[in-house]
Chains A and B, each alone.
Chain A
Amino acid sequence: MSEETPAGAQKVTRREFLWYAWASSLALFMAGSGGATLAFAYPRFKEGEFGGKFYMGRVEDFEDGSVTPNRDGKFFLVRIGDEFKALYQVCTHLGCLVRQTDEGYACPCHGSKFAKDGRLVASPAPRDLDEFAVEIIDGEVWVDTGAKTKGQNRNV
């Protein structure tokens, strides 16, 4: 039964409702397929691959003040006192890889300089070197290149 008023408001019939029900199920299916496609296409990170976790060694293996580069993970593992930092080698300016110097690190592209602990010393980079999360599990040092924190902004 349909009621038509001058304003055009009609009651939804059973047939019409079924159309909307099927259309909704189609929309749900497309959404699900989209989700499955995303799950399919999203990369998975393996241990030892950039984006995954790296096992660096035992705490005792690293001297205070040591800087250990890791090529595949693209980071420097620095020990300062009892604290470990994993500094991402990518310069925070435009993306070149920084090199080790006597005082810390320097970027060969535009001259940015960083201290040993990643602190920004000379511009044009806008912030300290980014860091990867370091976990000490049972005396083992693990660096998670999937968990990055941005360095602090600095004006020098």
Chain B
Amino acid sequence: MAENKETKSRRDKAREWLNGYLTSVFAGLSPQDLRDMFRGKPPGRPNPRYKPHTTSFWLHMKPRWYPKSVTRFSYTFALGWASAFLAVVLGISGILLMLPYTPSVDKAYFDILNIMSNVPFGKLMRDLHRLGAELMVAIVMVHMLRVYFTGSYKQPRSFNWTVGVILLLITWLFSYSGYLLPWDQLAYWAVTIGTSMADSVPVIGKNIQLLLLGAPAVGQPALLRFYALHVIILPLALIIFFGIHYYKVVRQKISPPPSVAAGLREDKERVPFLPDVLVREALWVILGLLFMLISVVTFFEAPLEMHADPNLTPLHSTAPWYFLWIQGLIKLPDIFGGLVEGKFIYGVVLPGLVFALLFALPYIDRNPSRLPQDRKLAIAIGIVAIILFGVLTWMGTPAYKAQASPQEEIALEFVPTDREGAIHELSWDELAEGTYDTETFVSGAMMYPKGLETFMVELREAIEKELPGGVGTLTITVWQKDLKRIDLDLRWTEGGEEHTFQQHTYIHRNMISD
């Protein structure tokens, strides 16, 4: 009997110790508290599930509960949460990508090639990072729109709106500095164009550009500076400002829906963080990661063009999509009579004004009501701004005012030398050696491989549209083992004179995925 008592108390002592240890690991929640939480039991009083919020570092900033009206998905669409989620994904993938990458103009491009082909999961990391970056810029802008349309930027949250605009700037700088790092044509010329606007600032413009680039043109110093910005300066700035931003959100509480704020309906119900909101956020992590992974495995690929060539600006150079609106602006006619450069007004002053307006918004909009019916002007202005952004973005694309001559455009579409075009859609066998003329080409007779037929038909249509009366000749030659040369000759008559244009490229068997 005495023996049983001893073993029992030793086992009990062990269980007691384990319970105590686990309680400290879970910041005050005992194993029984946890089990009750898992089983869906309402908490006792005092509520033990608040303890982790008061005693642990990580949960301290998170609120202990949310009003139910604020948790409705169609109110905030979890956009702020999604920004934080993406920041974590970008941080982790970014750190991993730092391991095989050297910010040197001689090595960077080849390191990217190495990451995509030789490093296990390298391509996955790069694609995830790029996808996260594009999504991040889009989501923070949509988050800003949501906050605007629900009027949440009004007092007492005006300071936090300002911090948010700073975060938007930081996000854009992040994306722009990262854009340069692959050191391909896309990166090099996007940054050259962007930083040339700094040069247009009167008096101090040249100095600003020199500070940005560390040299008169984009080169090694610029790469190092952008790298430093991207991996340490901006992350530190992000941590500081995100900390302020999220702290204010929790302290001031997420703004209630406008109808609740105006007292038109009540909201007394509370949704606790542990376990309800935690489970929901865990679900969003799973869905978010799943969406990103599926995208990266199916349709999304981080682009990589040719190695940066300071002596060759490719046709149709564009800024990253979120800066296309600026590129559209600077295409507008120069109406300032030579006093100031058009690109200064359109590229620096106007965007600067837009930012100033964003910063000052809560202090311009004095209307204390957040209800849409009381804010018709604000809502109208918001919609107009979105439309304007869309139009300017379209104007930034090559479709507006940046088309080359018709023969160059046709050659670019069908047989480009520095990117993928129509010719690259054919399989290796479909690139049958021979000469093919749009004038004499017979389609529908099953004489040629299908891909080649489609190519010639489309080429003929394009020539009819852009170079009426013109003729295109495609010549495919076997140049070396596994290498074919593709020549495109265009002939047309203009003003009584005959014109010709030629472009050729080489295709290696390994370039085609078949």
Interface of A is mostly: helix
Q: Is B268 an interface residue (CB 8 A)?
A: no
Q: Which of B32, B38, B39, B96 contacts A40 (CB 8 A)?
A: B96
Q: How large is the interface on A (under 10, 10 to 19, 20 to 34, 35 or more residues)?
A: 10 to 19
Contact in complex: B38, A19 (CB < 8 Å)? yes
Query: Residues of B within 8 Å of A, CB-based: how many?
Result: 14
Q: Which residue of B lies closest to A8 (CB)?
A: B32
- B104-128 CB contacts (< 8 Å) to partner A: 118-122, 125
Q: Is B338 an interface residue (CB 8 A)?
A: no
Contact in complex: B99, A40 (CB < 8 Å)? yes
In the assembled complex, the Cα of A8 lies from the Cα of B40 at a distance in Å of: 17
Contact in complex: B96, A41 (CB < 8 Å)? yes
A-B contact pairs, 26 of them (CB 8 A): A2-B39, A8-B32, A10-B39, A13-B39, A15-B38, A16-B35, A16-B38, A16-B39, A19-B38, A20-B38, A36-B120, A36-B121, A37-B96, A39-B120, A39-B121, A40-B96, A40-B99, A40-B119, A40-B121, A40-B122, A40-B125, A41-B96, A41-B99, A42-B120, A44-B118, A44-B119
For the complex with contacts A36-B120, A40-B119, A41-B99, 13 further pairs of A-B residues with Cβ separation under 8 Å are A2-B39, A10-B35, A13-B39, A13-B40, A15-B39, A16-B35, A16-B38, A22-B282, A39-B120, A39-B121, A40-B96, A40-B122, A44-B118
- A1-30 CB contacts (< 8 Å) to partner B: 2, 8, 10, 13, 15-16, 19-20, 22, 26
- B120: A residues at CB distance < 8 A: 36, 39-40, 42
In the assembled complex, the Cα of A39 lies from the Cα of B100 at a distance in Å of: 13
Query: From residue B134, how far is it (CB to closest CB) to chain A in Å?
Result: 22
In the assembled complex, the Cα of A41 lies from the Cα of B101 at a distance in Å of: 12
In the assembled complex, the Cα of A39 lies from the Cα of B121 at a distance in Å of: 8
In the assembled complex, the Cα of A106 lies from the Cα of B119 at a distance in Å of: 40
Known: A37-B96, A40-B96, A41-B96. A15 touches B40 (CB 8 A): yes
- A41: B residues at CB distance < 8 A: 96, 99
Interface string of B1-45 (1 = CB under 8 A from A): 000000000000000000000000000000010010011100000
In the assembled complex, the Cα of A1 lies from the Cα of B64 at a distance in Å of: 29
Interface centre among B39, B99, B122, by most chain A C-beta atoms within 10 angstroms, is: B39
- A36: B residues at CB distance < 8 A: 120-121
Interface string of B38-63 (1 = CB under 8 A from A): 11100000000000000000000000
- A42: B residues at CB distance < 8 A: 120
- A22: B residues at CB distance < 8 A: 282
- A19: B residues at CB distance < 8 A: 38
- A40: B residues at CB distance < 8 A: 96, 99, 119-122, 125
Query: From residue A140, how far is it (CB to closest CB) to chain B in Å?
Result: 26
In the assembled complex, the Cα of A103 lies from the Cα of B505 at a distance in Å of: 62
Query: From residue B119, how far is it (CB to closest CB) to chain A in Å?
Result: 6
Query: From residue B473, how far is it (CB to closest CB) to chain A in Å?
Result: 45
Q: Which residue of B lies closest to A18 (CB)?
A: B38
Query: From residue A20, how far is it (CB to closest CB) to chain B in Å?
Result: 8
In the assembled complex, the Cα of A23 lies from the Cα of B120 at a distance in Å of: 27
In the assembled complex, the Cα of A153 lies from the Cα of B161 at a distance in Å of: 70
Q: Which residue of B lies closest to A44 (CB)?
A: B118
Q: Which residue of B lies closest to A40 (CB)?
A: B121
- B119: A residues at CB distance < 8 A: 40, 44
